[in-house]
Amino acid sequence: MAITNQINKASSLASLRQPQRDKDGQIIRGSVWGTDTSRTDYVQMTNGQDAQVLNVGFTDRSGRPMAFGNDSHDYVQALEDSLDETFNDGDFRTAVMEHVFPCEFRPYGTDPTPIRRQALQNRTVRFKHNGAFNPAKDAPSTTAITGASVTVTPVLNPETNKTGILCSAATHVSDFDMMGGWTEGALIQTVGDMQVQYCRQMFAAVVDVLKDTPDLQVIEAVPLGGKPSDQAEDLLDILALNLPVELGNTLSDYAVLVPEKLEAVLDRAAQRAGHEDISDLLGCTVCGYAGDDTGVYLLPKRFASISFRSTKGAKTVDVKVTRNSNTAGYDLELISVVDVLATGSVKVKTGAFDVETDASFPLVHAIRFTAVE
């Protein structure tokens, strides 16, 4: 591989009508009508039979980069715009709401909306259609309506005031890396991969909060083992036998958060069973989270347990790009603020003078495979 810098600028308009040539006599593509060859490098790669020339740094006569150029500034700008559109154009919100679990996307400067569950009091009675009515025997009796409102607050750890998550992920784009060029397809792949990474880190942060929830209901189970299909069947049995029916009657009423290692096992089981993905296998939404394995978490989909706080510019995820001259590149950061509502409380009577106090109403359940056979 040889790298040659073209240092001679075109001296006249007439010279621009003829393509520039390298030291080997090969035409430099894009060098006609305005390419500033002082910014043009070429990399010649030879495998013994044929040679290819990779041009770097095309600009027009005004100094603007040409289409599909390899300038790192253009790439970072395209990456920033693509990430901003991916997370903030509404499709991300719709995808999370429809395919993951219900979430709240609230304006800047507002607090998370508490979840309020109106628990219905069963007042159904049986009565006679015919016959004499005897109030002493036939009068229906039922329960009077009392306080039946359950409020779920975002305060998970009152002692430390840990009420939210600042989810941040950063990367560095080097000028040197961009010398190899980039295309629209490469940009799409990069944005898609960064979106997956960011979501997994965000889910890991949510799980890190859930494991410290005061009302977390932990279900001890025997560690999974055997073939992927056997592990999937055992997990389904555990979920079915320990499902909190007061929050959802079937698995489809829940979103299941699983560690990455278990996600790979379940994905193999889904393939073996002829399903497209894990959600079809389990019959519910399945999300993988990065980091340490702290168990399998059940989140009820009837309530919006996750609340995203928008920025002043109404963005769910803020994309920050900063030029880092020390490392000859750009620092790119994704930032979002998330609140997790997972601690339930209900006001109950304590006796004298109608005093009310908080009682536990757990919303989050976790399965940990630590039980001994």
Higher-scoring residue by pLDDT: 117, 279:
279
Lowest-confidence region among 104-118, 127-141, 179-193, 280-294: 127-141
- Model confidence over 180-206: pLDDT tens digits? 667 777 888 999 999 999 998 998 888
Give the pLDDT confidence score for residue 197 in this predicted structure: 92
Q: How far is residue 70 from each of residues 39, 160, 179, 231, measured CA to CA in Å?
A: 11, 49, 6, 48
Q: Please state the rounded mean pLDDT for residues 204-228.
A: 87
46 located within any domain: yes
Residues 235 and 99 in one domain: yes
**54 plus 95 within the same structural domain:** no
Question: Can you give the pLDDT at residue 346?
Answer: 57
Please state, in angstroms and rounded to a whole number, the distance separating the CA atoms of residues 13 and 33.
8
Task: Note whether residue 125 is domain-resident.
Answer: no
At residue 154, the pLDDT reads 47
Q: Does residue 8 form part of some domain?
A: yes
Dist CA 173 CA 167 (whole Å): 20
Q: What does the pLDDT average to over 279-286?
A: 88
pLDDT at 331: 92
Could you tell me how many residues make up the chain?
A: 373
**271 and 365 fall within a common domain:** yes
Question: Residues 253, 339: one domain?
Answer: yes
35, pLDDT greater than 80: no
Enter the tokens of residue 112. 């998370």
> What pLDDT score was predicted for residue 138?
64
pLDDT digits (tens, 9 = 90+) for 310-360: 998 889 999 999 988 888 889 999 999 998 887 665 555 555 545 555 556
**Same domain for 99 and 230?**
yes
Q: Alpha-carbon distance 240 to 366, whole Å? A: 13
The share of the chain scoring above pLDDT 90, in percent, equals 14
In 3D, which of 351, 366, 358, 365 has the Cα closest to residue 151? 358
Is the model's pLDDT at 230 over the cut of 80?
yes
63 within some domain: yes
Domain interval for residue 253: 88-113+150-373
Predicted TM-score (pTM) of the model is 0.69
Contacts of 251 (CB under 8 A, 6+ apart): 239, 240, 243, 282, 283, 284
Q: Per the domain annotation, does 124 fall within a domain?
A: no
Longest CA–CA separation in the chain, Å: 115
Higher pLDDT, 270 or 25: 270
- Contact between residue 266 and residue 232 where contact means Cβ atoms under 8 Å apart: yes
Question: Quick check: 365 pLDDT over 50?
Answer: yes
Q: Residue written as tokens 């910014």?
A: 39
Structure tokens at 213: 């929830």
Structure confidence at residue 5 (pLDDT): 38
Q: What is the pLDDT of residues 137-154, one digit of tens each?
A: 666 665 555 555 555 444
Looking at 69, 104, 127, which one is the last position of a domain? 69
CB 330, CB 78: distance < 8 Å: no
Residue range 231-273, pLDDT digits in tens: 999 999 998 888 888 888 888 888 899 998 899 999 999 998 8
Domains: count for the chain: 2
Q: Is the pLDDT of residue 307 over 80?
A: yes
Phi, psi (rounded to 5 degrees) for 309? -100, 125
Q: 209 lies in a domain?
A: yes
185 and 284, same structural domain? yes
Q: Are residues 369 and 265 in the same domain?
A: yes
Residues 176 and 32 reside in one and the same domain = no
Residues 163, 232 share a domain: yes
Same domain, 16 and 104: no
Name which residue leads in pLDDT, 125 or 103.
103
DSSP 8-state secondary structure symbol assigned to residue 358: E
Q: Mean pLDDT for the chain? A: 75
Residue 39 has pLDDT above 90, yes or no: no
Phi then psi for residue 347, to 5 deg, are -80, 130
136 within some domain: no
Return the bridge partners of 167, or none.
336
The string of DSSP codes covering 78-130 is: HHHHHHHHHHHSSHHHHHHHHHT--EEEEPTT-PPPPEEEEPPP-------SS
In a shared domain, residues 277 and 344: yes
Residue 95 has pLDDT above 90, yes or no: no
Same domain, 38 and 186: no
Dihedral sign for Cα atoms in the order 93, 95, 98, 99 = negative
Phi, psi of 22, rounded to the nearest 5 degrees: -85, -175
231 falls within a domain: yes
Contacts of 241 (CB under 8 A, 6+ apart): none
* Strand ranges inside 10-84, DSSP E: 41-46, 51-56
